[in-house]
Amino acid sequence: MVVLIGVLALAAGAVPASASPDFTPRLPKTTGALPVGKTVMHLVDWSRPDTWVPSAGSRELMVSVFHPTFVPHGRRAQYMTPLESELLLKDGEITSLPYDLFSRTKMNSVADASPMGRWPLVVLSPGFTKPRATLSGLAEDLASHGFVVAVVDHTYENVATTFPDGRVTECVACEITRTPETADAFWKKLADGRAADVSFVIDSLLADWGRFVDGSRIAMAGHSVGGASSVHAMMADSRIKAGINIDGMNSTPLTGELTRPFLFLGRESQYAPGTGEQSGTWERDWASMTGWKRWLVVRGPEHASFTDVGLLAEQAGLDVGAELSAERTSVITRRYVRAFFDEHLRGIPQGLLAAPSSRYPEVRFCTPDGGCA
């Protein structure tokens, strides 16, 4: 099984000095001018059974919605529960940190602050085994610049999802044995299920948050399999006007042509053209994309560096094996993701997406035939 923090190649050992009992992990400060609120939603799709456990009944999802607010101060939102933190660390076989560590993570967003304004909507999907909390840093920053951002927990696909009645579901999909003969079917089921989840979340937000969400300006991004699922969600739902795949290998070929804008953003070591199986899936998808598209790779990060996992591990004094710090990778990710959404949801041209930038020399622009510059 691909474990949540196992990809960090963390060594067991003594507790790092920075992870003393009173150590508090922190998300980076937001870079926008708007205060951010966080609202947690429990959604039930009565129209379909659960993807992985049909006997559980209708598909249930937990969604964190980050949004601009008039409220700059108040009780800070909770990053995750102590039990979720414990299961996260145990799944990664990390024994050198207090099990409740990530539940103490200090966020910028105010819990249950009232939303204000009317903004473009961005849906974020995490990687396989990863809870929605791990994309909170990116979500908070986007919200501070005037987006409503819905981060989805895909139930039974991550280490822990806590529901309002106290139930905690774990990763049933992780326990499914995948052989070379069954792997393609597994990843197709996952991609199709995530596409259905995302469409349902969009339906729910337009119904319940229509006052605050501009239904004509909707986009999606995700990390790892969440990024790979973005293109499938776009193919299934024409309301999604633009999409981003952050460091995700798409095992399931597209079934047609994608004419809407798409951005690939990933590690140079794995996703520069011609580097192997992972970059090969981007080359295949690139050929099916006939609209605006960019292929960007970053020198030096590891897979987890694009999410809060790498950032919080780095704060705790753990070596994630990256040449580029997770803090710097976070800066790059937030800046390029926001530029993409500003251009394609707001119509504001972004020079950052036109050519390499001296401010971000780690980022290279690639094409399948021309390599990277």
Q: What is the pLDDT of residues 319-331, one digit of tens each?
A: 888 999 999 999 9
Q: pLDDT class for 1, splitting at 50, 70, 90?
A: very low
In a domain, residue 16? The reply is: no
In a domain, residue 6? The reply is: no
Q: What is the CATH number of the domain that holds 247?
A: 3.40.50.1820
In this predicted structure, what is the pLDDT of residue 347? 97
- Which domain, by its residues, includes 108? 36-372
State how far the Cα of 284 lies from the Cα of 366, in Å rounded to an integer.
Answer: 14
Whether 339 and 350 have beta carbons less than 8 Å apart is answered as: yes
In a domain, residue 215? The reply is: yes
pLDDT above 90 for 80: yes
pLDDT above 80 for 141: yes
Q: pLDDT class for 239, splitting at 50, 70, 90?
A: very high
Query: What digits encode the pLDDT tens for the residues 189-235?
Result: 999 999 999 999 999 999 999 999 999 999 999 999 999 999 999 99
In a domain, residue 41? The reply is: yes
In a domain, residue 366? The reply is: yes
The contacts of residue 306 (CB under 8 Å, 6+ apart) are 223, 246, 247, 265, 329, 330, 333
In this predicted structure, what is the pLDDT of residue 21? 60
In a domain, residue 272? The reply is: yes
CA 159 centroid distance within chain: 15
Nearest-5° Cα angle at 343, 248 to 34: 95
In a domain, residue 25? The reply is: no
Query: What digits encode the pLDDT tens for the residues 267-314?
Result: 999 999 999 999 999 999 999 999 999 999 999 999 999 999 999 999
**Token reading at 341:** 């959404």
When the pLDDT of each residue in the chain is averaged and rounded to a whole number, the result is 93
Query: What digits encode the pLDDT tens for the residues 10-52?
Result: 333 334 444 556 789 999 999 999 999 999 999 999 999 999 9
Which residue reads 């989805």 in tokens?
A: 152
pLDDT above 70 for 139: yes
How many structural domains is the chain composed of?
Answer: 1
Amino acid at 149: V
Q: What are the phi and psi torsion angles at 286 (to 5°)? A: -55, -40
In this predicted structure, what is the pLDDT of residue 91? 86
In a domain, residue 1? The reply is: no
